[in-house]
Chains A and B, each alone.
Chain A
Amino acid sequence: MKKIEAIIQPHKLEDAKEALKNIGVDGMTITEVRGHGRQKGHTEVYRGMEYKVDLLPKVKLEMVVTDQRADEVIRTLATAARTGKIGDGKIFVYAVADAVRIRNDDRGEAAL
C-alpha cells in the first residue's frame, strides 16, 4: 500500500477530485494548509503597514491506495492539478505498513 500526499493549489481541488473519481479512487482526506516551496509570497498593505505573507494557502489531499494503483493515481493527480506555473505544489509517496477499518477490524488492502 502507498500513501499519496498531494499539496496543490486550492483552486485545483475540484479538478483533482473529479479526475480521481473518474479513475475510481473514492476515499481521500482533504486539509486546508499553508506553505510554500519555491513560490514567493506576496505583500499585503493595511493602512500603510506592510505585511509579507510567504505562507500561502494550499490544499493537502491524502489517500492510501494499493501498490498497483499508485502510479496511475499519481499521474492523474499531477495532470489534474497542473497549471504549469510555480506554486502548483508537490506529491509525496510513502509506504504504508498496515491499515485498519475501525468499523469491523478489516486489515491491509481489505481496509482500503
Chain B
Amino acid sequence: MRNSSFSRLRAFGSAPAKSAKSTSTMIRSIQFLTLMALTAGVSLAQAIPPDIAKKLDDLDKATKNAQMAGDNAWMLTSAALVLMMTGPGLALFYGGLVRKKNVLGTMMHSFILMATVSVLWALIGYSLSFGEGNAFFGDLRYLFLRGVGAEPNADYAATIPQQTWMIYQLMFAIITPALISGAFAERMKFSAMLLFMTLWSFVVYFPMAHMVWGKGGLLNAALGGAYPALDFAGGTVVHITSGVSALVCALYLGKRDNYPDESMRPHSVVLSVIGACLLWVGWFGFNAGSALNAGSLASSAFIATHFATAAAVLSWMVVEWMVAGKPSVLGAISGAVAGLVAITPASGFVKPMPAMVIGLAAGVVCYLMVTKVKKIFGYDDALDAFGVHGIGGTLGAILTGVFATKEVNDLRMGKPMGMVDGDAGQIVNQLIAVAISVVLAVVGTLIILKICDVVFGVRVTKDQETEGLDLSMHGEEGYNLES
C-alpha cells in the first residue's frame, strides 16, 4: 500500500529505504572512516575539529537533498501520469463505449472531476483523508492546505515534500469517482452527477482513504490500524469502492431506455483503444508511484503491473475466443483494464510470476462477470465499472493475501506477509478490508443517491435521454462534421 501501511516502515527502512539504504550506508562508512582518521590523531585533538564536523553536516544535508531530488522527480512524474489516467485515459475509454450522442457528456464526467475534486481536496479533502484523526476520519489540521509545504511528512513519505505527497494523493481521489461514471453513463443528469460526486468524496472516498492509508486509520498496518490490510496502490480504496458504488448507481438509476433491446453499440472502439493504452501507461504512476520513492520497490511494482496486465489481455482474449468465437479488440483492452485493476493492491508485494497468475485470473473472472453474470441479473452497468473494477479489485485484494511475500516487500520486518510466506491469516484481513469497502460504498452511495434524487432528480427525462446528453445537458455535439 502505497503507503498505507508502509509509509512509516518505509521511512525506517524497508521500502523506501532501499534507495536510502545505500546512501545512508555510504554516509555511515564515510563517518566511520573519518572517525578512524580522527581517532588516529585523537591524542592530538580530543574532539572533532569544527570544520570537519561542519563538512560532515553539509555532506549529510547534500545526500538527503540528492535523494529527495531523485524521489521527488519520480513522484511528480507519477502524479502527472495518474492524472493522465482520468483525462484523457478514462475519458477516451468510456467515451468510445457510449453512443455518439453521449460522447461529450461521458467525457465530461471524467474531465469535470479533474476540477471538482481538486478544489475539494485543497479546501478540506486532503485533511479529512490524511490528517491524523480517529480510525475513520482525518482531522482538520491541513484545512486549506495549511502546513502542507516543502517539508516531508515522515508518517507518509519521508523523502518527498508533503506537497508532492498531497498532489499525488489528489490524483487518486480524482480517478476513483470518475470510474463510477461508467455505470450511470448515458442517463444521469449533470447537476445530480456533480452533487453526487461531491458528496461521494466526503462520505466514501475521504474516509476510506483515511482508513487504509491515513495515520491511525482502521485498516492501516504500518500506522496503527486494527485490521492491517495489504493494499499497495488502492484495490480497496479505489477499485472496490468505485466498482461497488457503480453497481448501486446502476441499480438505483435503472436501465437505459430500451436496454437491452435497442442497439447500444460503442460508437468508437478506436477511442477506447487509445484510452486503454493511456490507462496502461498511466497506471505505472499509479502502482510504481505508490512506492513513494524512486527505489527498487518502484521497479518491482512497475514490473508486476506490466506482466499482470499482459497476462490479463491474453486470458480475456482466449476465453472470449473460445466462448464467443472471435477475439474482439474491445475484449483485449477490457482484459488490460481488468489486469491493471487486479494487480493494483498486489503490485508492491508480489513477484512477476504470481503477478501473471493474478492477471490471468482477472481476465477470465471479469470476462465472465461482464458477459454472463450481468446478463443473468439484468442490471445495466453500462460500461462495466462494477464488473471490471468491483470484481477485479476484489479478486486482486484477495489474491494479494495469497501472493504477498516479504521477499518483495519486507513490510513486517521478517514476519510472513501472505499465504506464500506461510500466513494464510492475511487473507482474512484482506476480506475484512473488502467487506468494509463494500459496506461503506453500498450504504454511502445509496444515501447520497437519495439526496441527489430529492434535490435534482438523478435521471434525465426520457426525451433528454433520447436526444442524448451532449445536446440535452451541454448544448453541443461531439462530432460536427459539416461545420
Residues of A whose CB lies within 8 Å of any CB of B are 44-49, 51, 53
Query: A29 CA to B45 CA in the complex, in Å?
Result: 101
B323-356 with Cβ < 8 A to chain A: 324, 326, 328, 330-331, 334
Query: A53 CA to B263 CA in the complex, in Å?
Result: 9
Q: How distant is A29 from chain B, measured CB to nearest CB, in Å? A: 16
Total contacting residues, chain B, CB less than 8 A: 18
* Contact of B461 with A by CB under 8 A: no
Q: Do residues B371 and A47 form an inter-chain contact, with CB atoms below 8 A?
A: yes
Q: Which chain B positions have C-beta within 8 A of A48?
A: 324, 370-372, 374-375
Can you name 23 A-B pairs with beta carbons within 8 Å?
Answer: A44-B265, A45-B324, A45-B326, A45-B328, A46-B265, A46-B269, A46-B328, A46-B330, A47-B330, A47-B331, A47-B334, A47-B370, A47-B384, A48-B370, A48-B372, A48-B374, A48-B375, A49-B260, A49-B264, A51-B263, A51-B264, A51-B265, A53-B263
| B344-385 vs A, Cβ < 8 Å mask (1 yes, 0 no) | 000000000000000000000000001110110000000010
8 A-B pairs closest in CB distance: A48-B371, A51-B263, A47-B370, A51-B265, A45-B324, A46-B330, A46-B266, A47-B371
Query: A39 CA to B265 CA in the complex, in Å?
Result: 21
Contacts beyond the supplied A45-B328, A46-B328, A47-B331: 14 A-B pairs with Cβ under 8 Å = A45-B326, A46-B265, A46-B266, A46-B269, A47-B334, A47-B370, A47-B371, A47-B384, A48-B324, A48-B372, A48-B374, A49-B260, A49-B264, A53-B263
Q: Which chain A positions have C-beta within 8 A of B266?
A: 46
Q: Which chain A positions have C-beta within 8 A of B324?
A: 45, 48
Q: Which chain A positions have C-beta within 8 A of B384?
A: 47
Query: A51 CA to B324 CA in the complex, in Å?
Result: 13
| B416-436 vs A, Cβ < 8 Å mask (1 yes, 0 no) | 000000000000000000000
Q: Which chain B positions have C-beta within 8 A of A45?
A: 324, 326, 328
Q: How many contacts A-B (CB < 8 Å)?
A: 27
Query: A76 CA to B375 CA in the complex, in Å?
Result: 51
Residue of A nearest to B330 (CB): A46
Q: Which chain A positions have C-beta within 8 A of B330?
A: 46-47
Query: A51 CA to B263 CA in the complex, in Å?
Result: 6
Query: A46 CA to B383 CA in the complex, in Å?
Result: 11
Q: How distant is A61 from chain B, measured CB to nearest CB, in Å? A: 20
Query: A67 CA to B263 CA in the complex, in Å?
Result: 44
Q: How distant is A83 from chain B, measured CB to nearest CB, in Å? A: 24
Query: A46 CA to B328 CA in the complex, in Å?
Result: 8
Residue of A nearest to B371 (CB): A48
B248-263 with Cβ < 8 A to chain A: 260, 263
B370-412 with Cβ < 8 A to chain A: 370-372, 374-375, 384
Q: Which chain B positions have C-beta within 8 A of A49?
A: 260, 264
Residue of B nearest to A49 (CB): B260
Q: How distant is A50 from chain B, measured CB to nearest CB, in Å? A: 9
Q: How distant is A30 from chain B, measured CB to nearest CB, in Å? A: 15
Residue of B nearest to A52 (CB): B263
B261-276 with Cβ < 8 A to chain A: 263-266, 269
Residue of A nearest to B328 (CB): A45
Q: Which chain A positions have C-beta within 8 A of B374?
A: 48
Query: A81 CA to B280 CA in the complex, in Å?
Result: 44
Q: Which chain B positions have C-beta within 8 A of A53?
A: 263
Q: Which chain A positions have C-beta within 8 A of B326?
A: 45
Q: How distant is B94 from chain A, measured CB to nearest CB, in Å? A: 13
Query: A47 CA to B266 CA in the complex, in Å?
Result: 10
Q: Which chain B positions have C-beta within 8 A of A46?
A: 265-266, 269, 328, 330
Query: A45 CA to B374 CA in the complex, in Å?
Result: 15
Q: Which chain B positions have C-beta within 8 A of A51?
A: 263-265
Q: How distant is A40 from chain B, measured CB to nearest CB, in Å? A: 17
Q: How distant is B366 from chain A, measured CB to nearest CB, in Å? A: 10
Query: A14 CA to B266 CA in the complex, in Å?
Result: 29
